[in-house]
Amino acid sequence: MTLNLKFGGTAEFPEIDSTNAEALRRAAAGETGPLWLRADRQSAGRGRRGRAWEGGEGNLMTTLLITPERPRPEWAQLSFAAAIAVADLAAHYAPHAAIAVKWPNDVLAEGRKLAGILLETSGAGLAIGIGVNLKSHPEGTEFPPISLPVLGVKAPKPHEALAVLAGHFGRWYEAWAAQGFAPLRDAWLARAAHLGHPIRARLTDTEHRGVFEGIDGEGALLLNQGQTVRTIAAGEVFFG
């Protein structure tokens, strides 16, 4: 199936190891995108920090391969563009649900994880992997998950959801390409979960507690610990 997307072309697969892996293979071969890769099933889907990503048939499993128009050190900022676009997608199908973004790159519905994002690079290409629980969600995960049917919403077909997502992402990408991180930062903070409330930030070998004060001009987490504000470039956030 070929979709007429507002941003980028498409390549669709009944089954593949990983849409991110395929995007990286294509980038290594010289493909520049923008190209959305979508699979009905993944045999080796992956999430952040080397975790497996359990997609589930009927969910959206997609990767955007792109060669961004801004300097390479800024590419990581597109995780925020992706999160905002997924939040817009969720609000499109579940307009009455509480949709929020969670640092660094998750999307929540009613306080539970609806979607995750993974960025990887190869050569001149950036792979932005996005998984959205349209139809079902895994059990037994550390952060509670959710899917659209739990919200009382009929799950859209994955290719339909991709068309909506691509349109929203294209709008935020164009804002970033023209103006830098500032519009993404403002839009992300407007949707941020637990802003101004206590959180736990887990790093590789330690954990810090404090009040979630926001993100800086590079997208790093700002954690107010009373006497100091700690800047955290990478980690995971938990509430309570």
What pLDDT score was predicted for residue 138? 87
Report pTM.
0.92
Query: Residue 178, SS3?
Result: helix
Tokens of 46: 């992956």
Residues 6 or more apart whose Cβ sits within 8 Å of residue 174: none
Tokens of 2: 């070929």
**In this structure, what is the dihedral angle of CA atoms 159, 162, 163, 169, given to the nearest 10 degrees?**
-170
- Domains, the chain, in order of start with CATH, read 9-190 (3.30.930.10), 198-239 (2.30.30.100)
**Residue 101 bridge partners (DSSP):** 107, 192
Contact between 236 and 200 under an 8 Å Cβ cutoff? The reply is no
The mean pLDDT value for 89-95 works out to 98
Tens digit of pLDDT for each residue in 166-188? 999 999 999 999 999 999 999 99
Tens digit of pLDDT for each residue in 120-171? 998 889 999 999 999 999 887 878 999 999 999 999 999 999 999 999 999 9
- Strand ranges for 67-224 from DSSP E: 99-102, 106-109, 112-122, 125-132, 198-202, 207-215, 221-224
